[in-house]
Amino acid sequence: MTMGEERYRLLMACPDERGLIHRVSGVLAQAGANIVAFDQHSEGLGGHFFMRSEFDARTGTDARIRKDMESLSRNVPMQWRLTKAHQRQRLAVLVSRESHCLQELAWQTGRGDIDADIAVVISNHAEIGELAQSYSLPFYYVPVAKGQKSESERQILDIVANYQIDTIVLARYMQILSADFVSRFPSRIINIHHSFLPAFVGANPYLQAYRRGVKLIGGTAHYVTEELDQGPIIEQDVHRVDHRHQLADYKRIGRHVERMVLARAVNWHVSDRVLPFENRTIVFPI
């Protein structure tokens, strides 16, 4: 990248047809862009085409690229987005009593392993404030009283707007967000939960799993949609257990899987490696 240039990322999804790569690379070439990374997946003619590109171009040429992509999309129905790689996303982390996922995110963003900033931590448990303070993170206590969920969500929305948040991360936030709240952040709310759903729903899923003698402890990170726990999956992982593991082991292993799965999902999201499409995701490899 030379002086006066910026790095951009372009993601797109559309019905597959011949010549798509040629047309998109033509848009970038006419803007004087230099492609430094390119990945694509085709389902074949009759299916869909997915693409991610990183390229260097003169500062300010993104306006021309947007115009040319809009022109291209009039002939080929597509969803696409263009971002500036240097603009770090601002995260709001919502957490309840369990703090392991927040700690992993705070550590990885602080080290630069996740290229984003935790702008604010919000919790319905006041004791999380001490942890947030230890990482020098702004903290807001927003209790969720019975029958007052809408008021709590209004307060959270005000905080999110004040901190100019790009993405909301539910780091074991044990509250169900309303459809109105979720609709304001399409593909911009990431949740983590254990992978026992729907087999072990409700309270004490690890106790239920222990009693059933499960052999795999898992975690799933997904985008939040209006349908509970049915949003597009970003990342999953599992850890094998056996009869020698006790309930405390299940919980300890579960915490480890959850925090690593969520951290990977957030990292890929802020790096523009996740392309939500219908009710699934295309995750471009690192």
* HEC-encoded secondary structure of 226-282: CCCCCCCEEEEEEEECCCCCCHHHHHHHHHHHHHHHHHHHHHHHHCCCEEEECCEEE
Helix H or strand E encompassing 221: strand 216-223
Q: Which listed residue (68, 115, 229, 237) is catalytic?
A: 229
Tens of pLDDT along the chain (286 residues) come to 778 899 999 999 999 999 999 999 999 999 999 999 999 999 988 899 999 999 999 999 999 999 999 999 998 899 999 999 999 999 999 999 999 999 999 999 999 999 999 999 999 999 999 999 999 999 999 999 988 999 999 999 999 999 999 999 999 999 999 999 999 999 999 999 888 766 777 778 889 889 999 999 999 999 999 987 789 999 999 999 999 999 999 999 999 999 999 999 999 999 999 999 999 999 998 7
The confidence score (pLDDT) of residue 198 equals 65
- Residue 187 has which token pair? 């593909």
Q: Say whether 89-283 and 5-84 share the same fold.
A: no
The confidence score (pLDDT) of residue 58 equals 94
- Residue 170 has which token pair? 């539910």
CATH superfamily of 89-283: Formyl transferase, N-terminal domain (3.40.50.170)
The confidence score (pLDDT) of residue 197 equals 62
What residue ranges do the domains of the chain occupy? 5-84, 89-283
What CATH number labels 5-84?
A: 3.30.70.260
The rounded radius of gyration (Å) of the Cα atoms in the chain is: 21
229 is catalytic: yes
